[in-house]
Structure 1
Amino acid sequence: MRCIGVDYGERRVGVAYGDEIGVATPLPAIVKATEAERIDALAELARQRRATAFVFGYPYNMDGSVGFKAKEVDAFIEKLLLKIQLPVHRLDERLTSVEASKSFPKGRNDELRRSGKIDSVAASLILQDYLNQNIALPEYDPYAEVDEENGY
């Protein structure tokens, strides 16, 4: 499992990478002038990382309904899939950008938003949530016998 997490935006696309290790890592945001350029860059990133799936943040309304922004994401996904056909998972992204901005010093949010850093951290939060739900951790038994000879 090699996933590209995506926080879609009209100007910037935040991206992150994660695999079966289970850790999502923010990558530099895709900041391109046109939607076609953003789609091409995202498809190329997926090829370079040999991704097996996309995990898109899906902007449900606060009441859980699908609104205008979610339909924008759906249209973007549809165009992306014409370039590279990978499974797409949609994950509720409500408030991830707010949470992402909390990880940076106050007073720099405008600069950080323009650079796409907040968007990529939001993408990593979305992807981390997906990985947490879909990677089975090994069972831990605190009462298992200890191998005294090997120290574990």
Structure 2
Amino acid sequence: MPPAHSGNHQLPPANRPGRSLRVSRILGIDYGTVRIGLALSDPTGTLASPLPFLDNQSPEQVTKAISELIHNHQIIGIVIGLPRNMDGTYGPSAQKVRDFIDQMKGSITLPITPIDERLTTAQASKQLSSIGLNQKKLRKKVDSSSACLILQQYLDRNTPLI
């Protein structure tokens, strides 16, 4: 099954020498049924930084919070992790992300680009454990750290959002 996308919207590639600086940001999302990890790019599209996670209590609250972030940070696009199995196939978690994308498209008109998020949670957990976070603190930070890895992967690849 091909990755979901939100239409024909495209963003300019991240800044390269000779290009004018992009002054808007991209939001990274790691969707979870309990918590939604968030990350934000810097205005130049070079570096991703984690934001506090959202509790996934109701679709309305989540959409409202994301809409506020979009407005407050001049966000021009969204990158969301799409879970894939190690063999490249999609499982039930991928469908939950697609449903979440469809829910957001009802009120958010920005381009939403799903990208492969294989192993980002494991990588984020390993990084957070290496700095000595206990399990309780790790659980509170892993989702936004995963969103940060997802967004940084997009920024490093310099692919336009589709």
- Shorter chain as denominator, the TM-score bin is 0.7 to 0.9
Within 5 Å, give how 1:2-151 maps onto structure 2: 2-18=25-41, 19-105=43-129, 108-113=134-139, 115=140, 117-134=141-158
SS at match of 2:89: coil
In structure 1, list runs of 5 or more residues that go unmatched: 136-152
Between the aligned residues of both structures, percent identity stands at: 38
For the 8 Å contact 1:17–1:124, the answer to whether it is kept is: yes
User: Which ranges of 4 or more aligned residues in structure 1 deviate by more than 4 Å?
Assistant: none
Q: 1:3 to 1:107 in 2, by over 3 A?
A: closer
The size of the alignment, in residue pairs, is 133
Give me the TM-score of the superposition, normalised by structure 1: 0.80
Give me the TM-score of the superposition, normalised by structure 2: 0.76
For the 8 Å contact 2:32–2:56, the answer to whether it is kept is: no
In structure 2, list runs of 5 or more residues that go unmatched: 1-23
For the 8 Å contact 1:7–1:57, the answer to whether it is kept is: yes
Q: 1:23 to 1:67 in 2, by over 3 A?
A: same
Q: CA RMSD in A?
A: 1.7
Deviations 1:105-125 (A, max 9, x none): 356234431x2x110010010
